[in-house]
Structure 1
């Protein structure tokens, strides 16, 4: 499955994506608010999990590729949450982009295409997103997408160490009705 936007292609993973994904994941600025993927093996496992998620659920994180040059820019997409929390079951949207792709609206453009797929093709009732409180950039993307901050649903991520600054997460939600009536 491939999704095209004005500037981007969102597509499934290929073997040649493994090295650029690993290089992106080695950038401490890219990974500042994300759980570490410190080895090639960890990066490959992350990609393999995305491929499996697509096979089992029909969606996952796509590769984000520059439409004009074919350059690897990162990953974005939808993901079924596999941990227990008051807001689960749920589908989240997320993104991680190479530093060279920052500040150009690429995260917003790719995420908007992912939201359209989630609501229009998967018929989801709601899509959520969450981020560490200090991750102002991702929260800004969430607001640009029309997502609504839900402070009552902030949570401690059960898969993050208790003493990590990434443990606490702030919640944003986008119900189908807000997507249908909001700007695209």
Structure 2
């Protein structure tokens, strides 16, 4: 578990299924994704997060408020999926990401949790770099990337292979940060 001033970031539990399905099924939250997830898709996605954590020892984490235990969303690090890695010229290994319940937007929770995950990636896992990517039109996530110290890497922008040609979400931008310790 990682802790910040206001957040607990922890591995997923099966009891998170309802909150996770509500988060991923929310059209407001998913406005920069092709579509909200249906319940069965969200359950499969949650199971995949749990499997990846078990395999890798790290992954996307459940974020909850320390003060209330309220579910905020997901924040964490993970291996870049092969299908995405294959279309990025530098073929990065580790990504950082977040999806926050819209009722918590504007409170600085995404950068707070992402900073803790970034530091964990660099200090504990000794990752040489981390990347983050999103649809080119998703400026709110790009602001979070900048707030946590990532820099735009336009040479690694790409067209998302799972999004159809001509779709406004297909062009993706990539941000990166090298490990300041030089690992």
TM-score tier (shorter): over 0.9
What is the CA–CA distance in structure 2 between the aligned matches of 1:36 and 1:30, rounded to whole Å? 10
- Is the 1:64–1:74 contact (alpha carbons within 8 Å) kept by the matching residues of 2? yes
Shift of 1:35: 4.2
| Structure 2 residue matching 1:130: 3-state secondary structure | strand
| Structure 2 residue matching 1:54: 3-state secondary structure | helix
Runs (4+) of structure 1 exceeding 3 A deviation are: none
Q: Tell me how many residue pairs correspond in the alignment.
A: 178
Aligned to 1:173: 176
The answer to which of 164-173 and 98-107 deviates more is 164-173
**Runs of 5+ consecutive residues of structure 2 not aligned to the other structure:** none
Shift of 1:89: 4.1
Shift of 1:103: 0.1
Shift of 1:161: 2.3
| TM-score, normalisation: structure 2 | 0.92
Mapping 1:13-92, distance limit 5 Å: 13-82=12-81, 83=83, 84-85=86-87, 86-92=89-95
Aligned pair partner of 1:116 in 115, 119, 123? 119
Shift of 1:90: 1.5
Aligned to 1:147: 150
What is the CA–CA distance in structure 2 between the aligned matches of 1:37 and 1:13, rounded to whole Å? 20
| TM-score, normalisation: structure 1 | 0.92
Aligned pair partner of 2:106 in 91, 103, 108? 103
- Is the 2:26–2:36 contact (alpha carbons within 8 Å) kept by the matching residues of 1? no
Shift of 1:159: 2.2
- Is the 1:108–1:141 contact (alpha carbons within 8 Å) kept by the matching residues of 2? yes
Shift of 1:37: 4.3
- Is the 1:131–1:139 contact (alpha carbons within 8 Å) kept by the matching residues of 2? yes
- Is the 2:29–2:100 contact (alpha carbons within 8 Å) kept by the matching residues of 1? yes
